[in-house]
A and B are shown apart, each in its own frame.
Chain A
């Protein structure tokens, strides 16, 4: 997940029950040391995050019911930020709230991002919800 608009992310966090944005918090709670025990494709170290930097962030998100937190870390490719968390132990609660791959957070972020984009560009946007999808139409002036 690549975040380029922190304002949209903050609004997305407000929409998900149990999450709380912590502006400027520079560390997030996790196990505390990298034990080199996870090597899946979504492992932070495989996505441009240096293990030496685990536990540090630019902002954080607390998750009700979890002793760990989500860190919002700057991406090494310079494209924005990514959410990072430790999903072992008490971190499993984070997965329950935002999704294993942050899918729920991504849906809300994209919803906010697209709406903000249309408003900034003075374009009309209409949303329609179905059980499985959030659909939008942006009217583009000629």
Chain B
């Protein structure tokens, strides 16, 4: 199951988002609407899942 997980810090109001089950650009796309709607301007931090698709492509190219 793909998920968007969020944490709202009650003291600061800071919201952080992460995705589960997405790879590559889909990680960012999954949260894009939420980020835009909430006015989150900071560039999302890219986790290992973001690079999974690219690593696979590189492996394919090198074989």
Kindly specify which of A33-41, A49-57, A129-137 makes contact with the partner chain. Answer: A129-137
How many residues on chain B are close to A (CB under 8 Å)? 22
Partner of A117, one of B5, B15, B33: B33
Interface flag for A48 (CB, 8 Å): no
Chain A's closest residue to B26 (CB) is A140
In the complex, are the beta carbons of A4 and B37 less than 8 A apart?
A: yes
Distance of A51 Cα from B42 Cα, bound (Å): 27
Question: How would you classify the secondary structure of chain A's contact residues: helix, strand, loop or mixed?
Answer: mixed
In the complex, are the beta carbons of B13 and A110 less than 8 A apart?
A: yes
Interface flag for A85 (CB, 8 Å): no
The answer to whether residues A138 and B38 also contact, given A110-B15, A132-B9 and a CB cut-off of 8 A, is no
Kindly specify which of A19-27, A63-71, A86-94, A101-109 makes contact with the partner chain. Answer: A101-109
The answer to whether residues A138 and B37 also contact, given A102-B13, A133-B9 and a CB cut-off of 8 A, is no
Interface positions of B (Cβ within 8 A of A): 1-13, 15, 21, 30, 33-34, 36-39
In the complex, are the beta carbons of B13 and A106 less than 8 A apart?
A: yes
Interface positions of A (Cβ within 8 A of B): 1-5, 79-80, 99, 101-107, 110-111, 113-114, 117, 121, 131-142
Distance of A110 Cα from B33 Cα, bound (Å): 14
Distance of A121 Cα from B6 Cα, bound (Å): 16
CB of B53, distance to nearest CB on chain A (Å): 16
The answer to whether residues A136 and B5 also contact, given A4-B39, A103-B11, A103-B13 and a CB cut-off of 8 A, is yes
CB of B8, distance to nearest CB on chain A (Å): 4
Chain A's closest residue to B33 (CB) is A117
Distance of A4 Cα from B38 Cα, bound (Å): 7
In the bound complex, residues from chain B placing their C-beta under 8 Å from that of A80 are 39
In the complex, are the beta carbons of A5 and B13 less than 8 A apart?
A: no
